[in-house]
Amino acid sequence: MGRVLLCLVCVALFATAAVAEPGVNGSWIGTVGEQTVPVVLPADGLWYYSAADAVTVGPDGLGGWMFIPAQADLWQVTGPGCFSITDAWISGDQFEVYANGVLILVTPAVPPAAPPVHNPDVPGLPIPFVQQATVQLAFNAPNYSSGFVLIPPGVHLINVKDISFPPGTSGAGFGVRFDYYCSPVEPKSWSGIKEMFR
């Protein structure tokens, strides 16, 4: 009986760890170990400013995570809807997008370019871009890494990690958008979409 009980406890602990571990990338705890509060990303179809820093340590203990102090590093969205992301300054950044700790999108790798191809609004607080059309151009341009993914019903915490900075850079400015509809372009990550609905 003792061995059976011990096995059951071990299985329960393993199962708990297996369930909890994927959520680490969506449950942001910053470098000082304080839990932060997400900012709501409305389903208004507008681009919002966001940023990542190569030295910002994220929930996986590595750098490259989204970092805007006023934003507390997490976007909150309420699905169903479509989350979009695009690099918009110096091309060459590539992003991973997590929803509730599950990897749902990896944007494609693109060759880096030294000067910004598009120069949108000056980075600041997470407010809509003044130049919405400019960011939309970056989203549609093949030399910028971008993508979108369907978000199922419910409240989701979105976290972003820059996994490929252009040479000589240590940060990235990018745009995020949430809308009820996706653009008529093939999603970049079908595996991510399937994972969200499991």
Give strand pairing partners of 74.
Answer: none
Tens digit of each residue's pLDDT (9 = 90 or more) over 30-45: 444 445 678 889 999 9
- Residue 140: CB atoms within 10 A of its CB come to 12
- What pLDDT shows up at residue 27? 55
- What pLDDT shows up at residue 176? 93
* Alpha-carbon gap, residue 35 to 25, rounded angstroms: 13
- What pLDDT shows up at residue 183? 63
- What pLDDT shows up at residue 114? 64
Q: Specify the DSSP class assigned to residue 44.
A: S
If residue 97 lies in a helix (H) or strand (E), which one and from where to where?
strand 94-99
pTM: 0.73
Concatenate the DSSP letters of all residues of 153-174 into one string. Answer: EEEEEEEEEEEEPPTT--EEEE
Q: Which of the residues in the chain have pLDDT under 50?
A: 4-23, 29-34, 122-126, 185-198
